[in-house]
Structure 1
């Protein structure tokens, strides 16, 4: 990925509305934003044994992460090298070998081609050169990331400003808590991403979070990651789920005092985030499907803890955030509708909207057409 400039002549302005609905712009994003970006697939504890796998469909590609016999994880295109058939089905599973359901070409867990029926009938076949296409893989604190192409910063580099904070939460020991959920939304992925990092709407649109945090919600932006946070206040909420969460959230001994009641959110470029609570850690991913369709993919993880208070706190956390998600769903739909209006070009940004400024700077650098108030001719 090309180094991005720090100076942005349009820093005081948001992005134009047309790029939130243009299929041509969406195709540009696939090539210049998403294919060179890291995408979270799973945690190592989702694939604990040899042969365990997670598949992931992204920008027209089918990917798979497999746990090898050596204990390591490898990422491949989930595509047979013979006729392009999809190899492994379902979001998760386990296999001893990877066998194509079309012609039974067979690969081992390291991606090597080890079996071809009627092998001698293929004059051009070179077994050692027809293994599965390997993809870049990075493991950061137990989470598994895959990149289709490019050479930009690693996940570790992106999160470097916050390594000391994250270290307290023992990410490597997290176990999946619940299951992967997929929530389709008829909006552009950028609207979900923008909303996630928008601090100005919290006191207006999320009364529950305001009751929990008061006016202490913070937002800051580093080069590749945004951070948002709120400290639970002592004043009891009048909403039952919130008040019970305040009362029942137990002490977490491995966290320092200033984090025992802190909610922290990290959004990494371009489209995924970690929600870090004292009781659990979630990831949320905004998977682009089309210019006006996004799939939100998420799952919760937690450290083993059988205390009744902790189990209750995790359930209450889910109830609170289900309401927040419902509020955000309505808000983002309103914005998507408004973005489609020809009267809307780009709005001014406050100096406090640091995350939106950072996002716009990167997108304008990668796709210069996003600087234009209207789509170029032919778009």
Structure 2
């Protein structure tokens, strides 16, 4: 991070002086603690409402042995359920998205549910003594729709998404997120690293000047970071000086004005990371969503998709393509970085590393881990 960018934290001066210990980036027992303590109570993003425009459209999402499905009902409402039949636990709907018609029918024994989750059909009903259909509907999940995005969680615990993102609601409102539509499809990218290494790297500002020459050419000295209790923010302003790289230079030249954005956001790239593993890359031309899904102590699945406002201008189509080219290179660089860190976490020489006063996002993340799982305070496994 450039010295010109001033990191800001909403936290007290009691911030951690060192980062998280290496053992929690690879330990199976700690991973089980994270599954129970962090991920069952965290909000996870399924999709955007525009991914399911019609009744019977659905989107599914799997994480840590749980299968979740969100479906649009006949009344236009979106509801989220465990994607599990109440009879013999079969998965009900397959694939990341699809259309199930006017009802959900189990492929195993044909138990049938309405789009609002009610059990409405049981073959051989007369053989199920004392069956009460009202007690065997699909199990709902707590759901929150925030600016068009569908969030769910398995258990209560954290504040609402609206409360967590409140410090930046005014900024997000400028992008009219409710009006977005998907561009392309959800992609899954496996990485042989702990999920925290992906999250750490996303909010780390000090590596930009060192490891991302393209971003440095685009942003100059404008890159900054700050941390709020539940969300990190990073940002950079596109410079007028033409980049020496063709894709970057053409993006600078071709990026058109976006009618609904105020002047200060026409050339601004902003990144938000919602605790613990949901991220939005917000550009003038598109919004990229990423989720760092834990698979094992040393495996993570990065789930991502881009959303856009409909815009058929040639300049906008070109800018979105160039954005993809630029960020494909950034992703390659980050993939190499996090692999190097994960390998270093195996070394007996490393326990914890110091955090600078400027690393406010990493300090915030460390503090939150200390609060939720006290074992993370120990430099070595006890």
TM-score relative to the length of structure 2: 0.96
Match for residue 98 of structure 1 among 104, 114, 135: 104
Q: Which runs of 5+ in 1 are unaligned?
A: 1-5
Secondary structure at the residue paired with 2:323?
Answer: helix
Instruction: Rate the CA distance shift 1:7–1:161 in 2: closer, same or farther, 3 A.
Output: closer
What corresponds to 1:227 in structure 2?
233
d(CA) in 2 for partners of 1:84, 1:215: 55
Aligned to 1:188: 194
The Cα shift of 1:152 comes to 1.7
Find 2:368's aligned residue among 346, 357, 362.
362
Runs of 4+ in 1 over 2 A off after TM superposition: 6-10
CA distance in 2: counterparts of 1:41 and 1:10, whole angstroms: 33
In structure 2, the residue matched to 1:341 is: 347
1:119-158 superposed matches below 5 A: 119-158=125-164
Match of 2:53 among 48, 54, 78: 48
Q: In 2, Cα distance between the equivalents of 1:37 and 1:8?
A: 27
Distance 1:269 1:125 in 2: 42
- Number of residue-to-residue matches in the alignment: 371
Give the superposition deviation at 1:151: 3.3
* Pair 1:177-2:154 in alignment: no
Partners of 2:176 and 2:39 in 1: CA distance: 29
Match of 1:209 in 2: 215
Give the deviation of 1:119 after TM superposition: 1.1
Partner SS, residue 188 of structure 2: strand
Matched with 1:23 is: 28
- Please give the alpha-carbon distance, in whole angstroms, between the structure 2 residues aligned to 1:337 and 1:178: 33
- 2:302 is matched with 296
Query: Would you say the 8 A contact 1:8–1:361 is kept in 2?
Result: no
TM-score normalized by structure 1? 0.96
Runs of 5+ in structure 2 lacking a partner?
1-10
- Displacement after TM superposition at 1:124 (Å): 4.1
In the TM superposition, what are the counterparts of 1:30-109 in structure 2 within 5 Å? 30-95=35-100, 96-109=102-115
Distance 1:358 1:213 in 2: 24
Q: In 2 relative to 1, CA 342–303 (structure 1 residues): closer, same or farther, beyond 3 Å?
A: same
1:283-310 deviation line (CA, Å, top 9, x unaligned): 0000000000000000000001110000
Residue 197 of structure 1: which of 197, 203, 207 is its match?
Answer: 203
Distance 1:69 1:319 in 2: 40
Structure 1 residue 8: deviation in Å? Answer: 9.1
Q: What is the Cα deviation at residue 375 of structure 1?
A: 1.1
Q: Distance in 2 between matches of 1:141 and 1:76?
A: 20
Q: Contact 2:15–2:364 at 8 Å: present in 1 too?
A: no
Q: In the aligned structure 2, how far is the partner of 1:8 from the partner of 1:30?
A: 30
Deviation, 1:253, is 1.7
Give the drift of 1:23: 1.0
SS of the residue aligned with 1:181?
A: strand
Q: Aligned partners of 1:196 and 1:252: how far apart in 2?
A: 26
Q: Deviations over 1:325-370 (max 9, x none)?
A: 0000000000000011121111010011001111111111111111
Deviations 1:150-206 (A, max 9, x none): 132111111101111111111010010111111000000000000000000000000
Task: Give the SS at the match of 2:189.
Answer: strand
